[in-house]
Homo-oligomer: A and B are copies of this chain.
């Protein structure tokens, strides 16, 4: 996976501030959530003027999408590092799913960013092209689905996980159902309940710390 890097002065200058803004946005949003985070504080944190944020991001939502996309991207990198050693596509898929569940239900920064469906949907969309799809293609065989189906299933699963996470955060349901939730989500791929349970029960290596 490579990031397209436009060369030249403009791009280099932009990339620097863009990075700082994404990090600042992540920090502020992690502390207060998307809604309570103000663009002014993000700007301050990144050491730029208020208006500068808007030369990099169309709107606050656009910034939030970039932040969430970055979270996903970082997680995807970590996952990839490990799953490269797997050769079983089912295990890859299951491990990816578990990692997403863990992040969404356990990590404060993630949880703070899960209250806007549109932001989530857009972030997933942006991730689909460069990265996620490829691994999903490999995992496609497990349910004998087409590629479109795999990305659809993955996308629906992510939104389902958001619902799971919100319910747990609000103590509407107990965190003990996470294990079971994973089984259900694996069932979505079309493998049977038995296999889903086995996949969910397998131990997986811990993610590398960034």
Please name all residues of chain B whose beta carbon is closer than 8 Å to the beta carbon of A156 when the two chains form the complex: 160-161, 163-164, 181, 184-185
Give the complex CA separation of A160 and B120 in angstroms: 12
Please name all residues of chain B whose beta carbon is closer than 8 Å to the beta carbon of A152 when the two chains form the complex: 164, 167, 173, 177, 180-181, 184
Give the complex CA separation of A116 and B61 in angstroms: 12
Seen from chain A, the residues whose Cβ lies within 8 Å of a Cβ on chain B are: 114-118, 120-122, 124-125, 143, 148-149, 151-153, 155-164, 166-167, 170, 172-174, 177, 180-181, 184-185, 187-190, 192-193
Give the complex CA separation of A158 and B118 in angstroms: 15
Name the residue of chain B whose CB is nearest to the CB of A157: B160
30 contacts between A and B (CB under 8 A): A115-B116, A115-B118, A116-B117, A117-B162, A120-B163, A121-B163, A121-B166, A121-B167, A121-B172, A125-B170, A125-B172, A148-B177, A149-B180, A151-B173, A152-B167, A152-B173, A152-B177, A156-B160, A156-B163, A156-B184, A159-B159, A159-B164, A160-B160, A184-B188, A184-B190, A185-B188, A187-B190, A188-B188, A190-B193, A192-B193
CB pair A170 B117 closer than 8 Å = no
CB pair A167 B117 closer than 8 Å = no
Name the residue of chain B whose CB is nearest to the CB of A173: B152
Partner of A116, one of B116, B153, B177: B116
CB pair A173 B160 closer than 8 Å = no
Please name all residues of chain B whose beta carbon is closer than 8 Å to the beta carbon of A157 when the two chains form the complex: 160
**14 additional contacts, CB 8 Å, given A158-B163, A159-B163?**
A117-B163, A117-B166, A121-B163, A125-B167, A125-B172, A152-B180, A152-B181, A155-B163, A155-B167, A156-B160, A156-B181, A159-B159, A184-B189, A187-B188
Give the complex CA separation of A158 and B190 in angstroms: 19
Q: How far is the CB of A173 from chain B (nearest CB, A)?
A: 6
Please name all residues of chain B whose beta carbon is closer than 8 Å to the beta carbon of A153 when the two chains form the complex: 184
